C-alpha cells in the first residue's frame, strides 16, 4: 500500500512516510514495551494510569518526563534521553509535537516525539505518596515511623496476587489498609464514589472523610535506607582510628563492655561497644573474627562497621538503632501497645535475619530479645552474632558453662552441641518473649529443676492472648530432636502465613 501510494502520488511522499513509518514505529514501540510494563494494558496495575484518557482534556501546558531515550530518525523528530522534560504543543494520535525544556523551563528544541515514551511529570508514579510494589510489612516500617502523624498515607501495589492497589493509612500507631478497586477506568474504595483517576481519588480523600477515618493527612515520609557501611571509603577497612569516634550517651553497661551512642567524624550516629576485658583479648584473633563478621550483610542483621584495636580499650562499632533492644521495648508502654500484626512482623524479621545466618552456615548461640535491636518503624535486626566469646555478659550465664540457660537448647547445654537447630530452640523462646511482651522465660524455675523438667517433656505454656497458630510454631521449635525442629527458612514462611491470617 505504501509503495502503491508513493508511486501514484509522489508529491505526498512525506505524508505517506509519516503514516506508514508511524505504524512501524508503533510496532517497534509495542515490542519494546512488551518487556516494559508501561505498554501492557491493564496486566500490571501499576501501569494502569499511564496516559489515562482523563488527563488529555486538561493537559494545556502540562509538563512531561521521558521514560526512555529516543533517537530521531527524521529531521522533524526530536531525540531525547530518559528524564528529559517536555511541554506538549500538539497532540496528533500517537505522535506529539513537543518542546524539550532545560532545567529552568526554557525551550531547547521542538519536534515530534512518540507520546508513549512520555509520562506526565505529575503522574501517579511520581507522587510522593506512591510507593510502588510493597508488602504490608514494608509498608508498616515506612508508615509507623515517628515522623508520620495520624492520617499519613501511601498507595502501594500489593504483592499479593489480584489485590492490586492498596491505600494504607496510619491511625493510632497502626495501619489501616483499603483496597482500591479498579474497573473500566474507574477507581474506588467505596462503590458509591468512583473516580476517573487514582490522583483524583487521593485528592478527594484529602478533603473528605475516608470510611470511618478522618481525611487523609500528609503523604508518608519515605524512610531513608540505612547504610551498610559508614562510607564508601570504609567498606574494606575494619580497623579505624579511635579519634574518628566520639562517645556520647551511655546506652548500657555490662561486665565485659559498655555501650555508647556515638558519632563517626562528627556526622554519623553509631553504637560503640567499649570492651573492658582487653588484657585477655588476643588482638589478632579478634581482628580475624571481625573480618569474617563484616562479610555478613543483611537487612535484618546489625551491620558491624569497624573496630578500633590500636589502643586499649578496644571499640566495636556497629550501626545505631534508635529504639534500643527488643526486650526493653516490649516491656515499655510503647511495646505494650503493639498489636499482633506488628509483633508477628517483628518475629518474621528476626526469622529473616536468622535465615541468612543459616544460609551462611553461621550460628548465633545467643538469640534472645535482648540481642535484637529495633529502629524507626519497628525495623528489627539481630545483633551480637559471632562475637559471643569476646563480649558476652555473665548475668544470665550458668555457673558451670558460660551459656544463657533459659534460651539454650538441651543438647547445647548437655553436650555443647550448638547448631542452627539450637538457634531455632532459642527462637522459640524469643517468640515467647515477644508474645508475652517481654516476660522472663520459665519464671520461678531453678536451672537444675528446669533441666530435669525439659528432659521430661515440660514446655512453657502459651502466653496470654497468643494465637494458637503462633504457639504451635513455638512448640515446633522446642522439639526434643534437633532434626525434628523446623529450619529458619520454613519458620519464615510460616510466620508470613500467620501475618496473612492476622490482617
Instruction: Give min distance, CB of 288 to ligand ADE, in A.
Output: 22
Instruction: Give min distance, CB of 56 to ligand ADE, in A.
Output: 52
Q: 251, 397, 439, 503: which one contacts ligand ADE (CB under 6 A)?
A: 251
Q: 33, 151, 217, 252: which one contacts ligand ADE (CB under 6 A)?
A: 252
Instruction: Give min distance, CB of 398 to ligand ADE, in A.
Output: 23
Cα 4 to the chain's mean position, in Å?
59
User: 318 near 273, Cβ under 8 Å?
Assistant: yes
Instruction: Give min distance, CB of 333 to ligand ADE, in A.
Output: 19
User: 216 near 210, Cβ under 8 Å?
Assistant: yes
**Which is closer to ligand ADE, CB of 51 or CB of 251?**
251
Residues numbered 312 to 351 that lie near ligand ADE (CB under 6 A) are: 318, 320-321, 324-325
Listed in order, strand segments (DSSP E) in 365-456 are: 372-375, 379-382
Instruction: Choose, from 366, 400, 423, 483, the residue flagged as catalytic.
Output: 366
Query: Does the annotation mark 366 as catalytic?
Result: yes
User: 258 near 252, Cβ under 8 Å?
Assistant: yes
Cell numbers found for residue 281: 583479648
| Other beta carbons within 10 Å of 253 | 12
Instruction: Give min distance, CB of 342 to ligand ADE, in A.
Output: 19
β-strand pairing of 153-157 with 130-133? parallel
Q: How far apart are CA 347 and CA 344, in angstroms?
A: 5
Does 271 interact with ligand ADE (rule: CB under 6 A)?
Answer: yes
**Which is closer to ligand ADE, CB of 352 or CB of 376?**
376
β-strand pairing of 85-92 with 257-264? unpaired
Residues numbered 354 to 413 that lie near ligand ADE (CB under 6 A) are: 373
**Which is closer to ligand ADE, CB of 244 or CB of 384?**
384
- Rounded to the nearest 10°, the torsion over CA 435, 438, 441, 446 is -160
Size of residue set near ligand ADE by CB under 6 A: 11
**Which is closer to ligand ADE, CB of 136 or CB of 223?**
223
**Which is closer to ligand ADE, CB of 318 or CB of 355?**
318
How is 252-296 classified by DSSP, letter by letter? EE-SSEEEEEEEETTTEEEEEEEES-GGG--HHHHHHHHHHHHT-
Instruction: Give min distance, CB of 298 to ligand ADE, in A.
Output: 15
Q: Which residues contact 232 (CB under 8 A, 6 or more apart)?
A: none
Cell numbers found for residue 243: 579519634
**Which is closer to ligand ADE, CB of 252 or CB of 410?**
252
Instruction: Give min distance, CB of 101 to ligand ADE, in A.
Output: 46
How is 311-373 classified by DSSP, letter by letter? SSSPEEEEE--TT-BHHHHHHSHHHHT--HHHHHHHHHHHHHHHHHHHHTT---S--SGGGEE
**Which is closer to ligand ADE, CB of 38 or CB of 223?**
223
Residues belonging to the active site: 366
Residues engaged in binding ligand ADE (CB under 6 A): 251-252, 259, 271, 302, 318, 320-321, 324-325, 373
Amino acid at each position: 500500500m505504501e509503495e502503491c501510494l508513493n508511486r501514484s502520488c509522489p508529491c505526498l511522499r512525506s505524508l505517506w512516510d509519516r503514516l506508514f513509518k508511524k505504524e512501524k514505529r508503533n510496532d517497534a514501540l509495542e515490542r519494546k514495551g512488551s518487556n516494559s510494563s508501561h505498554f501492557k494494558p491493564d496486566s500490571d496495575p501499576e501501569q494502569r494510569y499511564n496516559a489515562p484518557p482523563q488527563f488529555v482534556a486538561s493537559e494545556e501546558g502540562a509538563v512531561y518526563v521521558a521514560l526512555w531515550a529516543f533517537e530521531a530518525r527524521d529531521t522533524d523528530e526530536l531525540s531525547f534521553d530518559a528524564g528529559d522534560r517536555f511541554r506538549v504543543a500538539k497532540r496528533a494520535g500517537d505522535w506529539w509535537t513537543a518542546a524539550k525544556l532545560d532545567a529552568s523551563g526554557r525551550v531547547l528544541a521542538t519536534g515530534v516525539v512518540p507520546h508513549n515514551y512520555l509520562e506526565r511529570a505529575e503522574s501517579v508514579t511520581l507522587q510522593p505518596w506512591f510507593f510502588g510494589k510493597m508488602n504490608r510489612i514494608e509498608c508498616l516500617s515506612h508508615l509507623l515511623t515517628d515522623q508520620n502523624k495520624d492520617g499519613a498515607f501511601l498507595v502501594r501495589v500489593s504483592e499479593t496476587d489480584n489485590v492490586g492497589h492498596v491505600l494504607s493509612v496510619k491511625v493510632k500507631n497502626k495501619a489501616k489498609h483499603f483496597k482500591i478497586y479498579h474497573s473500566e477506568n474507574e477507581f474506588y474504595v467505596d462503590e458509591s464514589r468512583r473516580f476517573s483517576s487514582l490522583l483524583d481519588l487521593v485528592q478527594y480523600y484529602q478533603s473528605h472523610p475516608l470510611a470511618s477515618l478522618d481525611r487523609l493527612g500528609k503523604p508518608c515520609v519515605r524512610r531513608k535506607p540505612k547504610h551498610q557501611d559508614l562510607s564508601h571509603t570504609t567498606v574494606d577497612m575494619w580497623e579505624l582510628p579511635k579519634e574518628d569516634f566520639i562517645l556520647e550517651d551511655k546506652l548500657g553497661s555490662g561486665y565485659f563492655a559498655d555501650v555508647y551512642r556515638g558519632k563517626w567524624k562528627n556526622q554519623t550516629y553509631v553504637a560503640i561497644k567499649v570492651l573492658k576485658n582487653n588484657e585477655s583479648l588476643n588482638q589478632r584473633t579478634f581482628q580475624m573474627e571481625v573480618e569474617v563478621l563484616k562479610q555478613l550483610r543483611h537487612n535484618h542483621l546489625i551491620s558491624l562497621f569497624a573496630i578500633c584495636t590500636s589502643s586499649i580499650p578496644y571499640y566495636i562499632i556497629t550501626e545505631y538503632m534508635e529504639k534500643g533492644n527488643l526486650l526493653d521495648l516490649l516491656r515499655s508502654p510503647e511495646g505494650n501497645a503493639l498489636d499482633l500484626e506488628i509483633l508477628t512482623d517483628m518475629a518474621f524479621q528476626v526469622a529473616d535475619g536468622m535465615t541468612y545466618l543459616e544460609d551462611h552456615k553461621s550460628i548465633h548461640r545467643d538469640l534472645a530479645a535482648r540481642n535484637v535491636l529495633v529502629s524507626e518503624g519497628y525495623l528489627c535486626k539481630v545483633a551480637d552474632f559471632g562475637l559471643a566469646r569476646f563480649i558476652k555478659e555473665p548475668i544470665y550465664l550458668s555457673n558451670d558453662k558460660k551459656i544463657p540457660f533459659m534460651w539454650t537448647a538441651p543438647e547445647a547445654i548437655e553436650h555443647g552441641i550448638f547448631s542452627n537447630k539450637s538457634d531455632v530452640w532459642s527462637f522459640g523462646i524469643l517468640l515467647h518473649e515477644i508474645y508475652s511482651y517481654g516476660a522472663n522465660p520459665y519464671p520461678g524455675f531453678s536451672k537444675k529443676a528446669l533441666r530435669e523438667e525439659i528432659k521430661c517433656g515440660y514446655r512453657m505454656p502459651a502466653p496470654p492472648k497468643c494465637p494458637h497458630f503462633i504457639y504451635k510454631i513455638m512448640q515446633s521449635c522446642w522439639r526434643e530432636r534437633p532434626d525434628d525442629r523446623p529450619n529458619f527458612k520454613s519458620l519464615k514462611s510460616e510466620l508470613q502465613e500467620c501475618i496473612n491470617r492476622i490482617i
